[in-house]
Structure 1
C-alpha cells in the first residue's frame, strides 16, 4: 500500500499565470527573478542540485519558455515535472492549499481595501467590547515587521493590540507574547474570527512578538491562523474517512481549520519542519498522508522582499531534500508544490498570481514531463489516485496507469 508526502514550498511561484494581468501581477516570477538576481551577484548562481534532479528549473522553463539564469545542461529529472495554474478566485494561502486538495474557491474572499482606517468602526468596537480591550492600534495595511517598529512600543505602553491587514484576505492581530499574554491573544483572535463571519475573511492571524523596544522586536514561532473551513470535503477528509491518517506539519492544520487532520505537529523554522517531516515518515503507516508547509519562504523572505535570504533558504532546503528522499519507501509518492507566488523583486509586499511547480517522484515513478495543468486540483487528484481513494470532485490525475507501477 502507498503513502503520500506533500511538501508545500509556500510562495515558490514559477512565473506569471496566464491571468496574472487581471491581478496586477503581469511579469511576476518568484523563482526566475531570484535565480537572475543570484546569477548577477558576487555570490553566484542558485545551487539547487536536488531540486534540479526533481525538475524545478525544468518546470519553470516549461511555464516561461526559457530556462532560469544559472541553470543549463541539466539531466533528465528523476520524476514527474510540470506546472499548474490556479482556477480559484484568489492568490492566497487557503485558496491555493484547498484547490490542491480538490476544492476550488469560486467566489473571492472578502478584503479590507482601504490602506488607512481599513476596518469598519463597528467591527473594531465590537472586538474591543467583547475582548475587554482598552482599544486597538494600527487599523491599516502594513507589513508585520514595519508595524512592530512603528507601533510596538505604543502597544507596550497602552496594552492595545495592533490590528492590520494587507492585500490578502486577512485580519492580523499582533501583541507581545509575555506582556499581553499568548493565550489572551489567541482568545482575542477567536472573538475576531466570529465577528468577521459577515465579511468572509479567509484568515485571522495571531502574531505574537517579543522584545523591549523597536530595535529588538521579533515575531515568535507561536503564530496561529484561524481559517475559514473549506467549503467542501478535501483530499484530507477523504484520507481520514478511508481509515487512514493525515499528519499535518506546520500550519497545514490551521489552513484547513483542523478538518481532515489526524495529528498536528507544530514546528517553527524550516529545519524543525524538516525534522518533524522525517520523524513522521519513520512512523507513518501505509495509506497515510504527510503534509508540510514550509512557511518561511513566504513570511520571512517573500513578504519582506529579501531576495538573497529566499535564495539561501532554497539552498538550505535543497541540502536536506536528499535525506528525505532516502527515507522514501517503495510505494511512497513525494509531491512538491506551492500555493501562490510572492516575488521578492516585485513592487509591494503581497502575493503574486503565478504558476506553481508540480514535482512528483518516488521509487516506482517513471520520469516524464506532465506539461501544464489547468488546476492545482490535478495534484490532489493524483495523490488520491496514488492512495487508492475514490476520485475527488475536481482535478485530473497525472499519474499514468501504464507508466507507474501499481501501488
Structure 2
C-alpha cells in the first residue's frame, strides 16, 4: 500500500501561551500569535483552516466552530523556551535534552584551549569584547539574535575558508559546550574584516556577530545546525528512509533536519514552499513530504501583523490545493513549532501551544486532545507509514 504523509509546519503560528510561561518566560504572558492576528484582521480569509477545524482549538469571535473535516488538538512544547531548531527536532521525534544556558564568555577559555589542542590558531582579538578568532578566518561568539545564552555561532567568510573547515570548527565547539545549539554558518562576497566590524555587544551583555548586518545570508549562504545530543537516526525521516520510502524536505525543514538520502528543496518564499509541496505530490508515490513555511516567523520577528496575516491567507489557499491532490491513502498534518506574537512587547519567539490538524479523506474527525509533545506528530507519521517508531512521542493514529 503506497501511503504518503504530508507534514506542513507554519513556523511560529502559536495559539496561546503555555501554562508555564509565568515561571519560565514571563515576557510571554498573554501571547497568542494566531489570536492576536485575528484581533487585527477579524475577516482573515482562512476557509480551509476553518473547514479543517481550527475553531475547535482556537476560541475566537472571528471563527465560528463548525463540524471539522480534520481531527484536531493542541501540542505543548517539550523543549525549553521557544526555538525553531529544537521545535523541528522535537516534531521529527527527538526528546529534547536539558541544555545549559551560558553566555559564550563563560566558556571562552575552555573552547579556546580545546581548539588549540586540536591544532588551531586561536586568539581573543579584543579583551573588552571577548570572542574567538580561529585561523584568522572564523569568529566564534554568542548568537545575538536569540534568547540569552542558548546558541553559539561559528561564522566564516567562505571566500577565505571553506564551509567544510567552518563546520569542523563548529563540531569541536559543539563537543566542548552544553548549550542547546551551535550554528556553523558562512557566506560568500564578504571579508573577515567586515564580519569582525559587525561584532556587537547586546544590551544584556551577549557579544556576537550581527548576522543580518554582516551580509552572511546574502550570497552563497551555507549553514549547519549542531544540536545537543541530537541523533537524526532516531527521527521519523530516517526511519522512512531505512524502510525504502521517499523523503522530501522543503523550505526551512531541509535547513534544520538531517536526512542523508532525502530530496532537499531550498525555498524561503511561501509561494515556492507551497508550489514545491504540490510538485512533490505529483512525483512522490510513497513516503514523507515535510515542509516548513518560514516567512510567517520572519513577519513575527518584524512585528508586522499585516504581513503575517497576508501570509496565513496565502498558506490557507495552498492548503486547499494540497487537499485537492490528496488520495485516500494520504495523511496531512498541519501544525507549528512555537509562537512569535507580532503584538508582543518584544520581537523574539513566544512560548505557545500549537494547533494540531490531521486530515485523511474519508475519515471522521475526532478530538486528539492536548498532546504533551510536538513529537506526537512524528510518532503518528511513523505509525501511519508503518516504519520504526521514534524515540519520543505517542501516536494518535487509530
Which category of TM-score, normalised to the shorter sequence, fits these structures?
0.7 to 0.9
Contact between 1:186 and 1:206, CA under 8 Å: does it hold in 2? no
CA separation of 1:160/1:342 partners in 2, compared to 1, >3 Å: closer, same or farther?
same
User: How far has the Cα of 1:234 moved from its partner?
Assistant: 1.4
| 1:170 counterpart = 2:151 | yes
CA separation of 1:297/1:112 partners in 2, compared to 1, >3 Å: closer, same or farther?
farther
CA separation of 1:161/1:80 partners in 2, compared to 1, >3 Å: closer, same or farther?
same
User: How far has the Cα of 1:130 moved from its partner?
Assistant: 4.0
Is the partner of 2:15 in helix, strand or coil?
coil
Contact between 1:189 and 1:226, CA under 8 Å: does it hold in 2? no
CA separation of 1:339/1:137 partners in 2, compared to 1, >3 Å: closer, same or farther?
farther
TM-score (norm 2): 0.78
Contact between 1:3 and 1:333, CA under 8 Å: does it hold in 2? yes
User: How far has the Cα of 1:377 moved from its partner?
Assistant: 2.2
User: Mind listing any 5+ residue stretches in structure 2 that lack a counterpart?
Assistant: 131-135, 199-211
Q: Which residue of 2 aligns with 1:35?
A: 38
Contact between 2:50 and 2:63, CA under 8 Å: does it hold in 1? no
Q: Which residue of 1 aligns with 2:208?
A: none
Q: Which residue of 2 aligns with 1:84?
A: 75
Q: Deviations over 1:84-112 (max 9, x none)?
A: 1122344322332222222211x323434
Q: Which residue of 2 aligns with 1:204?
A: 183
* Cα distance in 2 for residues equivalent to 1:74 and 1:361: 17
Q: Deviations over 1:176-217 (max 9, x none)?
A: 7xxx63974664354233223221342405264879999998
* Cα distance in 1 for residues equivalent to 2:325 and 2:254: 24
* Cα distance in 1 for residues equivalent to 2:183 and 2:124: 20
- 2:99 corresponds, among 100, 106, 109, to 109
Is the partner of 2:368 in helix, strand or coil?
strand
CA separation of 1:367/1:296 partners in 2, compared to 1, >3 Å: closer, same or farther?
same
CA separation of 1:348/1:124 partners in 2, compared to 1, >3 Å: closer, same or farther?
farther
* Cα distance in 1 for residues equivalent to 2:81 and 2:260: 22
Q: Deviations over 1:348-372 (max 9, x none)?
A: 3322221111111121332222221
User: How far has the Cα of 1:332 moved from its partner?
Assistant: 0.4
Q: Which residue of 1 aligns with 2:343?
A: 345
Q: Which residue of 2 aligns with 1:364?
A: 362
Contact between 1:53 and 1:77, CA under 8 Å: does it hold in 2? yes
Query: Which is worse superposed, 377-386 or 332-341?
Result: 377-386
Contact between 2:159 and 2:188, CA under 8 Å: does it hold in 1? no
Contact between 1:333 and 1:362, CA under 8 Å: does it hold in 2? yes
* Cα distance in 2 for residues equivalent to 1:346 and 1:138: 33
Is the partner of 1:380 in helix, strand or coil?
helix
CA separation of 1:190/1:226 partners in 2, compared to 1, >3 Å: closer, same or farther?
farther
User: How far has the Cα of 1:312 moved from its partner?
Assistant: 1.5
* Cα distance in 2 for residues equivalent to 1:318 and 1:89: 29
User: How far has the Cα of 1:223 moved from its partner?
Assistant: 5.1
User: How far has the Cα of 1:292 moved from its partner?
Assistant: 0.9
Q: Deviations over 1:251-292 (max 9, x none)?
A: 324423x24652222223212222222221111122x10111
Is the partner of 1:60 in helix, strand or coil?
coil
- 2:108 corresponds, among 120, 123, 141, to 120
Contact between 1:16 and 1:27, CA under 8 Å: does it hold in 2? yes
Query: Which is worse superposed, 274-283 or 182-191?
Result: 182-191
User: How far has the Cα of 1:164 moved from its partner?
Assistant: 4.3
User: Mind listing any 5+ residue stretches in structure 1 that lack a counterpart?
Assistant: 40-44, 62-66, 141-157, 401-407
- Which structure 2 residues correspond to residues 209-224 of structure 1 after superposition, within 5 A? 219-220=217-218, 222=221, 224=223
Is the partner of 1:78 in helix, strand or coil?
coil
Is the partner of 1:356 in helix, strand or coil?
strand
* Cα distance in 1 for residues equivalent to 2:128 and 2:284: 44
Contact between 1:13 and 1:29, CA under 8 Å: does it hold in 2? yes
Q: Which residue of 2 aligns with 1:335?
A: 333
Contact between 2:251 and 2:265, CA under 8 Å: does it hold in 1? yes
Q: Deviations over 1:41-83 (max 9, x none)?
A: xxxx32212222222243223xxxxx2x5x2334322211111
TM-score (norm 1): 0.76
User: How far has the Cα of 1:395 moved from its partner?
Assistant: 2.6
